[in-house]
Amino acid sequence: MSKIEQAFANGKAFIPFLTCGDPDLATTEQLVYAMADAGADLIELGIPFSDPTAEGPVIQAANLRALAAGATTDQIFAMVERIRRKTDIPLVFMTYANVVFSYSSKRFMQRMAHCAMDGLILPDVPFEEKADFAPFCAQCGIDLISLIAPTSQSRIERIAGEASGFIYCVSSLGVTGIRSSITTDVSAMVDQVRQATDLPVAIGFGISTPQQAQQMAAKADGVIVGSAIVKMIAQYGQAAVPHVAQYVREMKNAIKRLD
């Protein structure tokens, strides 16, 4: 069992996302420790990109703030090395193809392995284009996480069949961001995924409240929350740590009861 699959061993997994370097890397580091303590099972670390085409306005703005504050891929690797001295919580990077490609996929995955990162999510790399990345991930023991969308339909079997780590089910059409309700038939999508793979399934996009998390976790093995946390970081800046910790605790408690 990979470390990522272990993240799903403590009941329904709560997976928070944040953008590294927003407002600064020291705060990001503290947020990771606080989220791990508050019950996060796996943390998604966003490496900022200038033009994040799969993100809604909240995470777009965080990407630009982090870049404006000077965050770079190398500094983020250095931060993860520091984090790894204190916690072994499963960690995955979420970034865009060009950030990895321009660094050199091989060198990027080697550095990921060196600082014990567990997985990588690239929202602009579909199944057909993974050859630029997947071989290096495999060499370095990194899980390249596959995304499945409400429009995937007949593609699900093929994607899930070659997936590793966990399956990231996108709850809704459109980009990341808080939604008042999720109208997609998520259950049908998850059922189809389950027929194709035994990997754990996490649902993301649009989830912000404990009620939504409960609803989605009931259908899957975990939930991913990004914009709600990033919004809190935007609001409180360096003082966000206790607020985010409290939120993560509430969300994990909300889905824990489902076990």
Instruction: List contacts with another protein (CB under 8 A).
Output: 49-51, 53-54, 56-57, 60, 64, 67, 72-74, 97-103, 123-129, 131-132, 147-153, 155, 159, 170, 173-175
Q: CA nearest 216: which of 158, 161, 168? A: 168
**Residue closer to another protein, measured from CB, 29 or 124:** 124
Nearest approach in angstroms of CB 164 to another protein is 16
Nearest approach in angstroms of CB 81 to another protein is 18
**Residue closer to another protein, measured from CB, 169 or 255:** 169
Nearest approach in angstroms of CB 72 to another protein is 5
Nearest approach in angstroms of CB 52 to another protein is 8
**Residue closer to another protein, measured from CB, 18 or 71:** 71
Nearest approach in angstroms of CB 86 to another protein is 26
**Residue closer to another protein, measured from CB, 53 or 238:** 53
**Residue closer to another protein, measured from CB, 139 or 153:** 153
The four Cα atoms 174, 16, 50, 24 give a dihedral, to 10 degrees, of: 150
Give the contacts of 202 (CB within 8 A, at least 6 positions apart). Answer: 13, 15, 166, 167, 168, 169, 220, 221, 222, 223, 224
DSSP, collapsed to helix, strand or coil, labels residue 45 as strand
Helix/strand/coil (H/E/C) assignment for every residue in 94-136 = ECCHHHHHHHCHHHHHHHHHHCCCCEEECCCCCHHHHHHCHHH
Q: Which residues pair with 222 in a beta bridge?
A: 13, 202
